Structure 1
């Protein structure tokens, strides 16, 4: 048994410090594998913490390091039937401020939260995340949740040189994403259903009618959580197949100043500054400032070049009992619409055109202004009881200046020129109490109960002049005059709403089984007003709904768990048919069962599951009368979902996903016979190998394959978008504090088309292009 003694005020900065400690003659074993050796069941009764950790080390034969000052006056929780030293230490330290981390040289190390505050989140340094997702209110790590959640980390985002949310979501199974259509910002579907997007687990203006998604500059993204199936119900809104939760970066006490620069094809230039440091001498208060700027001459479709500016300050107070983060994200972006083509309405074949030539005009784009202000607070009331509160104010302005290209009733190719502006706000708060308790000698119980509230509004304007351009060509525009976009008029439609919810969950652990059950009661309110011929009446509608859920995990072995879950979602529908009746609520059932497997002493993990999602209503617009809406046929998706993440061998990491889904309409009618935009298969595999080349010099390579199968581009199955495949490659070199990353995207220059829900807009993927990233840590 080895102990670490530390002087007051001494700061340990992450794993690098642990390696230094190990080098001081600590006598640890030479490899991580030896350190994390497994043993028979470990049982330790409640006792002083230092004695408990010593007992765990003796029973397991694993080196356990800790600072006696950090565990002084602490008592352990009882440990029963633990199958590894890591699991035993987690059980013993539950409800305290201690955290156990693995180190290749120092074995298992128990750190106080002040030391943890000095380290960046694991998502910034690793492709594998085990921490609890923001959406989970029990505080469970991903390994212990009875659901299949995929996490894409900042480390992966940086290595892949992603520039936007759709770049990131290529790694996510079962997700179809589009960026910058002529009508909106980022939009995505998960397992066949549309998702609005969350930030730090809270709703944005996208939930209230501004289709900008949860997109934001990647410089401030810590991780992206792809919440599939029942996870989506925790946010309270529809998002029946899942949701995308963007988690922003947090301050730490690590003194760090890093700058980076990217350049590449199409005149790309991007710079990022990331400054982070403790503010007070005791490390309890820390701050972080992230700023980024990006420009581009034009995008690969020949449209307006990108301009993107971000400033994101944040503060964090963290001590033994309290963790509070407050921050802001101020973003101004102008981006061109994405390259696209369309189907020939006579042959129903995809029009093969040069995607680098703009259709109609090169000056078509979208401006998104997003201002977010947020806080996240956790307060330990007594050991085992915590109060958590989160809140966010979101202000989004979405302006589109793009032509809508399609066919007239006579079948001629035309472009409609008008433009639109949508301004939206959203306020969200979520507060709950989390309780962790040992009941008797055989039960561990986690409880949480809370209240969630959000409100929002959106105001829509259109250009004062509507123009239709005929005789449109899809090549270089030399004959059709470009009509200037007109100024915007007054507000035409104003929508608003709010949602309140109360919820409770209970997690019971006994023997090798964890059982989770909960329910959420929602109250919905919708408010709308039109101004086409002067202010119309304010229409207010209210509904409510109940969403129960449950799940179970069975730990079959020390490395294999089997899980299953069920959730019923009820989302209020306020859509009105032509006869004035309100469409019925949407009811969805989510079922999933699968297995989670730890590999290589928990350095990698596999999640595999079978799922079934069924929805009883789909709101359909009558193709013969666009003013009429009606509840369409029910939709069902059944499929498999496989995710792999982690380090398979020293220096070799893999992140992979595969989702195969069979979509089916429960009934069909004259307006819908198939499900559009949803490929049967989506897949990705990204692998990196890094090695030390010499002292202070390391290097590596990576490759990624991203693809999907074909999909329908309309609800009658008349138009089919072909399958797509893209291969990227990167080479890395690190010299002292410099990191260099050279990437080739779409290395085989394959013409790829994105999934689409309309045959008049089919995204075209990027051609072969090059990116260079250089970063320098100044201190």
Structure 2
């Protein structure tokens, strides 16, 4: 007997659930046992099982929708316990049922197959089945019968099958676009665990934070990241960064780019298309299996959603900054399964704060997404051209070993010094549920990058000791391909044990060509202030290719995650194969050098949930970086080996609105290539370096309207042994820290406002490996004011309020970056619909 709809005080409307299943045949869902005190939690668990990050959109009329909601509770638990009915074949052969009223057809299929077939009467009422012919299982028969009727079949909790109205799960914007705190992982985890449940320390800087801080570059964004040292464009190429003391090449959506294959562009790109920046520390360094042994920086791009949204933004500020952004997003099909997004931005500046070429860039990034209950596919492209003046810089005096105090707003010799990066990137990311508990994930990307550096090289003459400058310029062109595919299986082993496994294959290749300017004018003792005496010729054309390199990496990996009681144990191993090929053309083409190496990277981690709010974790990983550098006898030096160990705690605060991650880490790297102190013409595998320290991150909402994002990393760097040519670790400050806090409140019915402030700083660091030159500590305070009225959002920011002269970390004493002086930015945005 059908149970009448009940409306509870909380506003939820549910149909009762069946207390049990009968042994055979099909069953109409009757009065159930779901009480008023439990239905809300069950519904929330059902919603969460289909993805807390997605908007549920149910097809059909209201009565069918309500039936689907109640039956979805059954399906959520059944998804992790695949019923045996899925593989059963009807006794005596195939199932054949002519077209008839659907409820009778389902009854017939249940009787013929011996499988429990349940359905909501309202979902099938007035419907006529499609004919079924010689189906080999109950599921196949039902799928034939309901084809084209807007229904779907899912496993039941106690075996059997359930027929419900089709559930269409449509995508919505990621939490990183709307919140400072994120809990879901993206391309940086293959187990589907949220960041809170991973046995590792990962920091995420969201699009919401990027927008509030008016960041215009990756280096701007990474001020918030503990243990990260970022350096702006220099004569060596685009922006670069290290994590916990080791170089990080940068990933985009978890995949390698041309920066891993010889084009020094990093992962820099216009920020308008960035959903989040994940700073991956320790074990996350082997995500791509390629270098990045202390950690990595993973840039995650924005994805389409079914939300109808058109937003425009405009920025202006110091140094003639003008920037515009367009973000258009909508569902393309009526069922909201297919959606599209287009992001475009353009920026120009008169000059930068160093008096060099102003940053100019434009971006066009279209993408499509298909998402239903079983499938999520994103296809995207990103085309951008960026021309950024080098940042202001100075150098140390070679005699006094003090920083030369010069006006950083005046360019040295020539104002049109810049780094130009042009990138075309095409990518896809596909996830498909094969059966409940089993998913196939495949990601791929093609990247083409051209980097042009029109920058003077300033240094000291080894013969005279005088300052000299040369204007050669360089060009790098490269392309890369990357693909990563894995099968993820989640299952229960008994009632108390859950397990997740993934096995996969990772491939990447890339090539690059390098050219230099045909002429190289050199100036002795150039003016370091305003240039009024030296005539600098125009940049010369680039010559033929001087160096051509290519590489390939293949890897197979497997991971296992076991969850029992309050413990999660993660273990994995990856086997890598590296190939490298190079050729030079300085005096005609040299023979092509081909090299091959392999390596193995194991990892393990554990997390213990001491309470609902407190977890304790530890991890270990071992990484290998292929070394293709030959010793004097022609033999290749051994691979660089890195071991990462970390232990810490994760604490949820204020009903999980905020989180604290704190850890102690120990990273040791061996076999670093060094010069033989007794024979400078020979190279040796050195003993390496070690970094030990603490890492603290805080993110979330402390009180209504008040959010905080903070980080502190203190690291003790040391060489495992010293030589006459290296006694210390350069470019690495002991402390890096940041605190960014925002408060917003409702001023009136139609007006909201707020303020924010940020403190960013680092301790002193050495500017060369002999410890002879010291870069002083830096501190910068920024502030912003927000106002939302009549649909417009206004953001006024002042950077470096106290106009402090700050110097950036560096590894060479002839290039010391000077950070920006006090400047102003104004941003206005409007969501049109």
TM-score w.r.t. structure 1 length? 0.88
Alignment of 1:274-293 (within 5 A): 274-293=327-346
Q: How far apart, in 2, do the equivalents of 1:274 and 1:331 lie?
A: 16
Compute the displacement of 1:179 (Å): 1.4
Candidates 617, 620, 628, aligned match of 2:674: 620
Distance 1:25 1:509, change over 3 A: closer
Deviations 1:300-354 (A, max 9, x none): 0000111101000000000110000000000001111111011000000011111
Matched, 1:666 2:738: no
Shift of 1:699: 0.4
Determine which of 523, 535, 544 is the counterpart of 1:481.
535
Report the equivalent of 1:465: 519
> Equivalent residue for 2:791?
737
Distance (whole Å) between structure 2 residues aligned to residue 658 and residue 51 of structure 1 = 53
Counterpart in the other structure of 2:643: 589
**Residue aligning to 1:189:** 242
Q: Is 1:765 aligned with 2:764?
A: no
The residue aligned with 1:519 is 573
Structure 1 residues 56 and 663, CA gap change in structure 2 (3 angstroms): farther
* Aligned twin of 1:75: 75
Q: Secondary structure at the match of 2:208?
A: helix
Provide the rounded CA distance (Å) in 1 between the counterparts of 2:676 and 2:319: 42
**Deviation, structure 1 residue 57:** 3.1
| Residue 688 of structure 2 corresponds to residue 634 of structure 1 | yes
Residue of 588, 600, 624 corresponding to 1:546? 600
Indicate which of 28, 32, 38 corresponds to 1:57. 38
Task: Summarize deviations over 1:534-585 as a string: whole Å, max 9, x none.
Answer: 2111111000000000000000001000000000111110112344332210
CA–CA separation in structure 2 for the residues paired with 1:399 and 1:146 = 41
Name the SS of the counterpart of 1:596 in structure 2: strand
> Are the equivalent residues in 2 in contact too, given 1:49–1:71 (CA < 8 A)?
no
Cα 1:112–1:237 shift into 2, 3 Å: farther
Aligned to 2:771: 717
Q: 1:75 deviation in Å?
A: 2.7
Whether the 8 Å CA contact 2:279–2:295 is kept in 1: the answer is: yes
CA distance in 1 between counterparts of 2:326 and 2:755 reads 25
Report what 1:338 is aligned to: 391
- Aligned partner of 1:16 in structure 2 is none
196, 199, 203: which one aligns with 1:143: 196
* 1:294 and 2:347 aligned: yes
Q: Is residue 732 of structure 2 the alignment partner of residue 678 of structure 1?
A: yes
SS in 1 for 2:222: helix
Residues 276-311 of structure 1 show CA distances to partners (whole Å, capped at 9, x for unaligned) of: 000000000000000000000000000011110100
The secondary structure found in structure 1 opposite 2:196 is helix
Counterpart of 1:571?
625
Q: How many residues align?
A: 717
Residue 60 of structure 1: CA displacement?
7.3
Hey, what does 1:128 align to over in structure 2? 181
Q: Greater shift after overlay, 613-622 or 395-404?
A: 613-622
Change (3 A) 1:375 1:140: same
Give CA deviations for 1:701-725 in whole Å, capped at 9, x if unaligned. 0000000000000000000000000
Q: CA RMSD in A?
A: 2.8
1:174 equivalenced with 2:227 (yes/no): yes
**Superposition pairs for residues 228-267 of structure 1, below 5 Å?**
228-267=281-320
Give the Cα separation in 2 of the matches to 1:481 and 1:164: 33
CA displacement at 1:129 relative to structure 2: 0.5
Instruction: Give, in whole Å, the separation in 2 of the partners of 1:97 and 1:629.
Output: 65
* Residue 116 of structure 1, CA deviation: 4.9
* CA distance in 2: counterparts of 1:464 and 1:578, whole angstroms: 31
Partners of 2:20 and 2:196 in 1: CA distance: 25
**Residues 50 and 71 of structure 1 are in contact (CA less than 8 Å); yes or no, is this contact kept in structure 2?**
no
Give the SS at the match of 1:601: coil
Instruction: For residues 29-86 of structure 1, give each alpha carbon's deviation from its aligned partner in whole angstroms, at most 9, with x where no partner exists.
Output: xxxxxxxxxxxxxxx9999999798688379799889764245354343899xxxxxx
Q: 2:745 aligns with which of 691, 710, 713?
A: 691
User: In structure 1, how many angstroms separate the alpha carbons of the residues matched to 2:292 and 2:749?
Assistant: 50
Tell me how far apart the structure 1 counterparts of residues 448 and 730 of structure 2 sit (CA, whole Å). 31
Cα distance in 1 between the residues matched to 2:531 and 2:400: 23
Contact 2:442–2:483 (Cα < 8 Å) also in 1: yes
Q: 1:474, 1:653 → 2: CA distance? A: 44
Q: In structure 2, the residue corresponding to 1:252 is in which secondary structure?
A: coil
Alpha-carbon distance between aligned partners in 1 of 2:710 and 2:565, rounded to the nearest angstrom: 32
The alpha-carbon deviation at position 363 of structure 1 amounts to 1.0
Task: Give TM-score scaled by structure 2 length.
Answer: 0.83
- The structure having more radius of gyration, on CA atoms, is 2
SS of alignment partner, residue 235 of structure 1: coil
**Kept after mapping to 2: 8 A contact 1:226/1:243:** yes
3-state SS of paired residue (1:472): coil
Q: Which runs of 5+ in 1 are unaligned?
A: 7-21, 29-43, 81-95, 99-110
For residues 548 and 20 of structure 2, what CA distance do their matches in structure 1 show? Answer: 62
Asked if structure 1 preserves the Cα contact closer than 8 Å seen for 2:170 and 2:371, the reply is no
CA pair 132-358 structure 1, distance change in 2 beyond 3 A: same
Once the two structures are superposed, residues 435-463 of structure 1 have per-residue CA deviations (whole angstroms, 9 ceiling, x without a partner) of 00001121100000000000000100001
Residues 578 and 361 (structure 1 numbering): CA distance in 2 closer, same or farther, change over 3 Å? Answer: farther
Structure 1 residues 617 and 599: alpha-carbon distance in aligned structure 2, compared to 1, 3 A threshold = same
Q: CA deviation at 1:207?
A: 0.3
Q: CA, structure 1 residues 417+112, in 2 after alignment: closer, same or farther (shift >3 Å)?
A: farther
Unpaired runs of 5+ residues, structure 2, are 13-18, 23-28, 48-64, 81-151, 155-164
> What are the superposed Cα offsets for residues 583-623 of structure 1, whole Å, 9 maximum, x if unpaired?
21011100000000011111110000000000012223679
Decide whether aligned partners of structure 1 residues 56 and 470 sit closer, same or farther in structure 2, where only a CA change above 3 A counts. farther
SS at the partner of 2:594?
strand
Which residue pairs with 2:267 in the alignment?
A: 214
Distance 1:335 1:674, change over 3 A: same
Please identify, of 766-775 and 50-59, the stretch whose mean Cα deviation from structure 2 is larger.
50-59
Listed one character per residue, the Cα deviations across residues 389-448 of structure 1 (whole Å, up to 9, x for unaligned) are 000001010000110011011110110110000001110000000000001121100000
What is the CA–CA distance in structure 1 between the aligned matches of 2:474 and 2:645, rounded to whole Å?
40
Match for 1:611 among 662, 665, 684? 665
CA shift at 1:737, angstroms? 1.7
Matches within 5 A, 1:290-369: 290-369=343-422
**What's the counterpart of residue 33 of structure 1?**
none
Structure 2: distance between partners of 1:49 and 1:485: 82
Which residue is equivalent to 2:104? none
The aligned counterpart of 1:412 is: 466
> Take 2:547 and 2:680, find their aligned partners in 1: how far apart are those partners?
17
Inter-partner Cα distance in structure 1 for 2:566 and 2:607? 8
Tell me what 2:143 maps to: none
SS in 1 for 2:287: helix
Most deviating of 568-577 and 188-197: 568-577
Q: 1:498 aligns with which of 552, 563, 572?
A: 552
> Is the 1:97–1:320 Cα contact (8 Å) retained in structure 2?
no
Shift of 1:465: 1.1
**In the TM superposition, what whole-angstrom CA distance separates every residue of 1:369-397 from its partner, at most 9, and x where no partner exists?**
01100000000000110000000001010
Separation (CA, whole Å) in 2 of partners of 1:424 and 1:65: 47
Q: Is the 8 A contact 2:629 2:636 kept in 1?
A: yes
Paired position in structure 2 for 1:91 = none
* Partners of 2:630 and 2:324 in 1: CA distance: 48
Equivalence for 1:507 = 561
Structure 2 CA distance, aligned partners of 1:260 and 1:390? 31
Report whether the alignment pairs 1:427 with 2:481: yes
Deviations 1:509-551 (A, max 9, x none): 0000000000000000000011112211111100000000000
Deviation at 1:728, TM superposition (A): 0.3
CA distance in structure 2 between the partners assigned to 1:474 and 1:279 by the alignment: 57
Separation of aligned partners in 2, 1:436 and 1:274:
36
Measure the CA separation in 2 of the matches of 1:618 and 1:653: 42
